[in-house]
Structure 1
Amino acid sequence: MHPRYWATWVGLFVFFLLTLLPMRFTDWLGRCLGSIALRKNIKRFNIVKTNLTLCFPDKEEAEINRMVDEHFKAQYRSLVHYFLLWWRPISVVRKKIKTNGFEKITQFQSQGKNVIIMLPHSVGLEFAVAAISMDHASIGLYKSMRNSVIDWVVANGRIRFGRVNDAKLFTREDGLRPLIRETRAGKVLVYLADEDMGRRNSIFVPFYGVQKATIPVLGRLAKACDAVVLPCVTCYDARNKHYTISLLDEIENMPSGDDEKNSLVMNKSIEQVIDYCPTQYLWTLRYFRTRPQGEASLYE
């Protein structure tokens, strides 16, 4: 236990104690933290507002500002919830999750098809990962964090729900081969497809009508794995204090054999997922960071 991590451990212990309190209190606390972050983190505020303005051009500025405010509150509320996800008994976590459409997984598997779940970056995405891995052998990608304590907590928290089903995590450095191998062997692949990964290996296709650098991998994975792709919606129900995780119908014409068509269909599907609870999408990411040649940055 290196001294440089003592503050991290103290903070984690404080948040562990918070998981013992009623969710109405942790919801309130998370939203208060979100209100503070909204005022203090000007850089993130500008990113969120830019994203929402680009994606919802028909909305008035007052409505965009309301969505920005609600997003920060939703994000920090879910951040507080993650400590419950990581540390409370699985039986407790299960009560905080309601699932819809999960029978589709076994239905397709019984037909000899493999399954890829397309999971966009919502503020509560870790609850979706937990819901999937609780009952299904699954695999996914994991991005290591700089703080080794936080990295251990997050990775362990993500994998613990699927240990009984031999869930596995891979890094981007592992490449696609282990993902394809495990998916073809019958595991459910949880794939996050919406980040801007830079110009290399990306193509530009519309996302909410704005050109976005998109990695055309999902269609290739679906073809290589002989898999259907099911979009996943993750929304927190503040009234009933649970996360609703829904698997929508399979994406039609995926794969098509054409990277551009696959990417366009994928982005359209992500839009449909976002529209279920728009302020709970992770708008703090710079989805439009990479621009077509000669086009100025949208975040300056």
Structure 2
Amino acid sequence: MTTSPSAPPSNRIALYRFLGPRFWPIWLGLGLVRAVNVLPLRAQLAVGRALGRLAHRFARRDKRIAAINIDMCLPGLSATERDELVREHFESLGCTLLETGLVWWASDARLRRLIQFEGEEHLQTALAKGRGALMLSAHFTTLEMGARALTLLGPTSVMYLTPSNPLIAELSRRNREKHTAQAVTSEQIRELLQNLKSNLPVWYAPDQRYTGKNSELVPFFGVPAASNVATSRLAKISGAPVLPYFPERRADNTGYTIVIHPPLADFPSGDPVADTRRFHELIEDHARRNPAQYLWTYKRFKRPDDDPYRRR
């Protein structure tokens, strides 16, 4: 049976502290997102893509990063195909902005009408073992929707990075707390393990650049990338099954498909680098299926001794 750990005090910051002029553009943007959320999903995504096309015209730095990443990861594309993928990616980012409103404010009933799960039985079988389930996800533009979707299947914990903007950080924390059994930061490893011990599924996306403890260079699309290889250690300590978990925005704009894969066999293998490479290959396969939805605007391959974004 799944049990929920008692959540620690939230240490909320009063929102009146964010009423200064520096936060006005964010409040204005959130007001727009909230207003658009009353529209049907097709209309919301149309607005999101329009915003993405507008951002594409002005976001020179992010366009450059996306183009470099795509060139490194998908070298078989022509220059025209790469430019088109960058444009489509910005449209996907615009959809992500408006989906934040659905993730934060939509009812469970509304989301159930929009989300279709594939492989839900794999999660139920994993939880029947009583050791929780480590839901191994990745940074696609549907990332936040995927995390919220998991809460529709029962009490869930999520691990997240704290946003740098303090207002966004506070609102994100409040809304994660509202929908999850517990939301833990990337520093709260003990809480993550306790949630697994309490037989909760834990949403976990360790695929971003990482240069701290448990960091190794692991190929990603054939390119060496500083990666977090701690997933193997977490699986070994907890005994929790590790299930790859990938959300995607459907091409017909009618909703989302969430794919829950079977638990990884022989995981951990005793070789954390090989285990991480195995996960990277799953991300690569999914990114090739939905290339516009992968997060290309992030400096995934930057390292202290090598910065391809500066050289190019």
In structure 2, what is the equivalent of residue 277 of structure 1? 290
Counterpart selection for 1:168 from 158, 165, 182: 182
* Deviation (angstroms), 1:278: 1.7
The aligned runs of 1:11-50 (5 Å cut-off) are 11-50=29-68
Amino acid at match of 2:102: L
Instruction: Measure, in 2, the Cα distance between the counterparts of 1:297 and 1:146.
Output: 22
Question: Which one of the candidate residues 129, 133, 138 is aligned to 2:151?
Answer: 133
Change (3 A) 1:152 1:38: same
Letter in 1 for 2:152: M
Quote the residue 1:57 is aligned against.
75
Corresponding letter in the other structure for 1:278: P
Q: Taking structure 1 as the reference length, what is the TM-score of the superposition? A: 0.90
> 1:269 deviation in Å?
2.1
Q: Cα gap change, 1:62/1:243 in structure 2, threshold over 3 Å: closer, same or farther?
A: same
- Tell me, yes or no, if structure 1 residue 297 matches structure 2 residue 307: yes
1:30-61 CA distances to partner (integer Å, 9 max, x unpaired)? 11111121121111111111111111112212
Name the CA distance, whole Å, in 1 between partners of 2:298 and 2:64.
11
- Give CA deviations for 1:90-143 in whole Å, capped at 9, x if unaligned: 211221211111111111222445311111011111111111112222222222
| Alignment partners' CA distance in 2, 1:251 and 1:62 | 38
Of 201, 221, 230, 1:208 maps to 221
Please state how far the C-alpha of 1:213 moved relative to its aligned partner. 0.7
2:125 partner letter = Q
Distance 1:271 1:252, change over 3 A: farther
Structure 1: segments with no counterpart, 5+ residues: none
What's the offset of the Cα at 1:7? 4.4
**Within 1, Cα distance between the matches of 2:250 and 2:43?**
15
Q: Which runs of 5+ in 2 are unaligned?
A: 1-15
Question: 2:12 — aligned with what?
Answer: none
1:99, 1:244 within 8 Å by CA — same for their partners in 2?
Answer: yes
SS of the residue 1:106 aligns to: helix
Q: Report runs of 4+ in structure 1 exceeding 4 Å deviation.
A: none
Q: Does 1:80 align with 2:98?
A: yes
Report the aligned-residue RMSD. 1.9
The residue aligned with 1:150 is 168
Note closer, same or farther for the CA distance 1:146–1:114 as it changes in structure 2 (3 Å cut): closer
Residues 201-231 of structure 1: CA deviation (Å, up to 9, x unaligned): 4111111111111111111111111122111
Distance 1:207 1:178 in 2: 29
User: Equivalent residue of 1:285, what SS?
Assistant: coil
- Percentage of matched positions with identical amino acids: 28
Does the Cα contact within 8 Å between 1:233 and 1:276 map onto a contact in 2? no
User: How many residues end up aligned between the 2 structures?
Assistant: 292
Alpha-carbon distance in 1 for matches of 2:165, 2:77: 39
Q: Among residues 234, 238, 242, which one is paired with 1:225 in the alignment?
A: 238
Larger mean CA deviation between 145-154 and 258-267 belongs to 145-154
CA–CA distance in structure 2, aligned partners of residues 275 and 186 of structure 1: 33
CA offsets 1:141-162 (integer angstroms, 9 cap, x no match): 2222344432232223333333
Alpha-carbon distance between aligned partners in 1 of 2:251 and 2:175, rounded to the nearest angstrom? 23
Q: What is the distance in 1 between the residues matched to 2:290 and 2:88?
A: 11
